[in-house]
Amino acid sequence: MHTAIAQKPNVDSILQKVAIEKDEDKKVDLLVSLISSEINNDPKWTIETGLKLLNQSKSENDNIELSVAYSFLGQGYRLLGNNIKALDYHHKGIAAAEKSNNLSVLAFAENQTAHIYKDRQEYDKAIDIYLSATAHAAKGKNEKIKSWGPLNLGGVYLSIGKLDSSLMYSQRAYENALKVNSIVDNPYLYSNLGGVQSKLGNAQLAVSYYNMAISQSIGSKNIRYLNIAYTGLAEHYQRFNQKDSCISYAKKAITVVKNTSFFYLSSKPAQLLTDIYEKNNCDSTLKYSKIFKTAVDSLTSVKTNQQIQLMTFEEDLRQQEVAGEKLKAEEERKLNIQYALITLGIIVLLTLYLLLSRSFITNAKLIEFFGVVALLIVFEFLNLLLHPFLERITHHSPILMLLALVCIAALLVPFHHKVEKWATSKLVEKNKEIRLAAAKKTIEQLETKVGDK
C-alpha cells in the first residue's frame, strides 16, 4: 500500500467516527483515511493502530473493521521483517473481508497480502493477488484503493522486465491518483516510472523521475521509499556504466535503512556493491556480501520459506473451499427457486381447475387453503430471488433484513386478499351455475316422468 500523506491521522478521533458510522461505504472511507506515511514507515504505529481497531471491531462484531485491523497488523509485522506472522494476519484479513462482502475492503486485504510475495520476489504469486485486488477494487466504491493494485503491478512488472505492462499499470495508477488528488504525491510511483524509462534507455527522463521520488521521500521522512529510490538510481547508473554514481547511491540506500527494522531492504544495493568491488577491493566485497547475505536470510531462510509455502498452500485450499461453497450455495438457491416455481405452478393450475371445472361443486375452504399455500410459496420465492440484493443494500443487518421482508409481506397480503376474494366470488358463481344446472335437469326429469304417466 504505497501512498504518502504528510500528517499523521488522529487515530482515536477517526475510530470514534467509524464506530458510529452506519453507512458501509462511508465507514470504508474513514478507515482508508487512517492510512498515512506511517503505515509504510512506522511499524510500531501501524501495529498499535491495528490493535485499537481490532478491539473495536470485536466489540462491534464488524467484519469490515476486523479485516482492516488484520491488514494493519500484517503490514506492521511485514515492516518488522516477520513475514510469517504478517502473512497469517493478512490471510485473516482476506477471510474477514470475504464475510463483509465489501469489495473495496477485500481489494485492500489482497493488496496487502501480495506485498509479502513481492518482497520475497515470488512475483508470479504477487501478480495473481495484485490482479485480483485490482479487479475487486474496480467494482468497489473507494477511489483511493483503485490506484493501489495498478501501482504495485507496475513495480512487479518492472522487476521482471515487462516494461510495457509496467508502464501501462503505472500510468493507470497515476490517472486513478489524479481522481482523488490534484497533485500525485507518491515516491514509489515515480521510482517505477524512473525504472521503466531507465530500461528503455531514456536516461535523462529516468533521473528526473528518481529525483522526484527522492525529493518527495525526504520531504515525508519515508526511509523505505527513499531506499527504493536510491536503489533504483544506483541500478540506473550501473546500467549506464557510471560506477561512481552507482556506488554513491547504493551506499546511500544502505545507510538510510541501517540500524532500522528495514535493514532487509539492503539486499539489492549490497549486491550491486558486491559486484562492483568483487575484482578490485576484497575488503569491500566481503563487507557488502555479508550485508547482502544477512538481508536476504531475513526474508528467505529455509525455515521461513517452508512456513510461507505451507501458509500459502493452506490459504489456496481455503480459497478453493470458499469458491466451492459459494458455487454450491448459488446452485442450491437456483434449484430452490425452480422448486418454488414448480410448486406454485401446480397450486395455481389446481386452483384454476377447481375454479373453472363445470363438473362438481368445490368447497370454499379448499380454495382458501390453496390460496394461503400459494401466498407462502410466492413469499418464499421472492425471498430466494431478492435475498442477495437485500443482503447487499442492508449490509447484512438482521433488523433491516426483517423490515424488508415485512414490507414484501405487507405488499403481498392485500394482493392475496383481492385474489382470494375474486376466486371466492368466481367459485360461488360456478357453484350456483352447477346447482342451477342440476336443478333444471331434475325438473326436466320430473316433467318427463309426469308426461309419461
C-alpha distances out from residue 9 to 5, 31, 146, Å: 9, 11, 21
User: How many domains is the chain built from?
Assistant: 2
Are both 122 and 70 inside the same structural domain?
A: yes
Whose CA is closest to 31, among 45, 47, 16? 16
pLDDT band for 262, please (50, 70, 90 cuts). confident
pTM above 0.85, yes or no: no
Are both 276 and 353 inside the same structural domain?
A: no
Q: How many CB atoms lie within 10 A of CB 282?
A: 10
Q: Is the pLDDT of residue 390 over 90?
A: no
Average model confidence (pLDDT) across the chain: 80
What is the 8-class DSSP label of residue 266?
G
In the structure grid, which three cell numbers stand for residue 120, read together?
520475497
- Asked whether 322 and 132 are in contact (CB, 8 A), the reply is no
Measured in whole angstroms, how far is the alpha carbon of residue 110 from the centre of its chain?
7
Q: Name the domain boundary from 272, 300, 328.
A: 300
Establish if 296 belongs to a structural domain: yes
What mean pLDDT comes out for the span 46-59?
90
Establish if 201 belongs to a structural domain: yes
Segment among 6-20, 221-235, 341-355, 436-450 with least mean pLDDT: 341-355
Quickly tell me which residue has 497515476 as its cell: 174
CA atoms within 13 A on the CB side of 424: 11
The residue range of the domain holding 263 is 11-300
- How far the first Cα of the chain sits from its last, in Å, is 107
Are both 279 and 352 inside the same structural domain?
A: no
Are both 37 and 78 inside the same structural domain?
A: yes
For residue 262, what is the domain's CATH number? Answer: 1.25.40.10
Are both 278 and 386 inside the same structural domain?
A: no
Establish if 31 belongs to a structural domain: yes
pLDDT of residue 156: 95
Dihedral sign of CA atoms 315, 319, 320, 325 in order: positive
Whose CA is closest to 3, among 199, 183, 264, 124? 183
With a CB cutoff of 8 Å and minimum separation 6, the contacts of 34 are 9, 11, 14, 49, 53, 68, 72
* Strands (E) located in 296-413: none
